[in-house]
Structure 1
Amino acid sequence: MNRAETERYEELEASEGKQFWDIFGPEHLRSSEISDFLADFMVRKVVGSRTLMETTGRVMYKLVKWLYEKGYMPDKGYEEASENVKELKIDLPLVGEVTDLIYDYVERHPVETRYTSDLDAYFDIVKIEPGKLWLEDYLESGKCIGSVVISEEISSKCKVGWTVSLWVAKTGKVWRILESGNVLPR
């Protein structure tokens, strides 16, 4: 959206309670909105089953194709959106599974020793080895921690580039997970 469209949206939402799609049509649906819907909204708000996530990926791929065929999306936008949806429709069912696996792992492996430091943040996964993750603080670019101890099953399902919400603590030379949140396919 350009500045004028943003101002129009904000004004109509505040004064009349209008939603985005009450004001704008399908030509405003771009790759970034589609990616945000799949990678953020579906994971953090819907938290649906594996089947729902697989179905959502397929439906979004068909929507992108329809938008392109009907002329609502230019060639370059279509290429970008369809590539993003292809990647996300593979990752979407996995992140829910990994979120659950990390939660269960933390419950079964509580940190019972003293720790020297801790961080509670969103982290990008930057490196993976069996049973270990290396993370970079999402908001403080360049601040890396690792290795973070997890199960080999979890590390085998994670992907570099995903974002994880964790509270981690340093115990000796390794980091351990105190609490976990969502895993996001960014």
Structure 2
Amino acid sequence: MTKIGYAISQVLEKFLDEQGKRLKPATMRKYREVIELLKDCLNGYAYQSLDKEESGLYKREDMKFCDVFGSEKILPGTGEFMGYFMVRKVIAGKEFLKYSGTVTKKLAKWLHAEGFVDERSAEFAVEAGSEASKVLPGAEELSNMLYDIEEYISSDELIEEVFDHFSIMDVKPDGVVLSGLFDTRRFYVKLPHGVVDKWHDGWEASLQLGKTGDGWHIISAGNVYPL
């Protein structure tokens, strides 16, 4: 049995009010910042998962997502929040990225304890939050390392270039074999061992690869998506 009749914005404010009773001011500021970012994510993207009837209601109300829908819509949006929004839309250091997962985990537990969501939904979100706390800082570190090894290739040297989200298919002594989400060919790229060690199975990196006479190189590196 879950509670109904509370808008997302009201539920999240209640969560923050209760956390404020036990947390130090500095920690509370981080909690509030994470929750505000979660609201931004829900308001900006969660409408895409609405069914036809819900979409009609959303358009008629002409209000922000978090002021229209209730607590049952919070946890389904946390996957996109941690896996996309915090990586792509937020400029943050490793510590704050870790906090985003921690706060999401705390929120999920609180929502269940207060009767806003069922146990299964909360458990799934708690696991996702724990995983995000572990992998988001490492993904940010890898993103910075890839940026540091970008290479300039002149138009005279450039034979071909590919923009894609790449995953590691195989590790070689002095590099990796990558495959794109859209271009599924195999691209062998020489990388320092330190970079290869940071790139875990299942992680995707947004890269621009350029081919010259001596192989493929990273021309431009974007975000790393670990979730």
Shorter-chain TM-score range = 0.7 to 0.9
Give the counterpart letter for 1:116 in structure 2. Answer: I
1:17-70 deviations in whole A, cap 9, x for unaligned?
Answer: x21101012211234x11111121111111201111122221111011112222
Aligned equivalents of 2:179, 2:60: Cα separation in 1: 38
Aligned equivalents of 2:59, 2:176: Cα separation in 1: 41
Contact preservation (8 Å) 2:98, 2:132 = no
Task: Write out aligned runs for 1:76-115 (5 A).
Answer: 76-106=120-150, 109-111=151-153, 114-115=157-158
Aligned equivalents of 1:170, 1:162: Cα separation in 2: 23
Give the counterpart letter for 1:117 in structure 2. Answer: E
CA-based RMSD of the aligned residues comes to: 2.2
Contact preservation (8 Å) 1:129, 1:155 = no
The counterpart of 1:29, out of the listed 74, 80, 85, is 74
Provide the residue aligned with 1:157 in structure 2. Answer: 198
Aligned equivalents of 2:100, 2:111: Cα separation in 1: 16
**Shift in CA distance, 83/172, structure 1 to aligned 2, threshold 3 Å:** farther
Give the counterpart letter for 1:110 in structure 2. Answer: Y
1:131: Cα distance to partner? 4.5
Aligned equivalents of 2:92, 2:211: Cα separation in 1: 33
1:80: Cα distance to partner? 2.2
Provide the residue aligned with 2:53 in structure 1. Answer: 4
Aligned equivalents of 2:91, 2:58: Cα separation in 1: 28
Task: Write out aligned runs for 1:117-156 (5 A).
Answer: 117-129=160-172, 131-140=174-183, 143-156=184-197
Contact preservation (8 Å) 1:131, 1:153 = no
Contact preservation (8 Å) 1:126, 1:161 = no
More deviation, 84-93/172-181: 172-181
Q: Report the TM-score when normalising by structure 2.
A: 0.69
- The structure whose Rg is larger is 2
1:130: Cα distance to partner? 5.5
Identity of aligned residues (%): 28
> Of Structure 1 and Structure 2, which has the larger fraction of its residues in strand?
1
Aligned residues: 177
| Structure 1 unmatched runs, 5+ | none
More deviation, 170-179/56-65: 170-179
| Structure 2 unmatched runs, 5+ | 1-49
1:139: Cα distance to partner? 3.6
* Secondary structure, aligned partner of 2:149: helix
1:172: Cα distance to partner? 4.7
Aligned equivalents of 1:144, 1:67: Cα separation in 2: 45
Aligned equivalents of 1:36, 1:125: Cα separation in 2: 22
Contact preservation (8 Å) 1:124, 1:135 = yes
Aligned equivalents of 1:73, 1:144: Cα separation in 2: 44
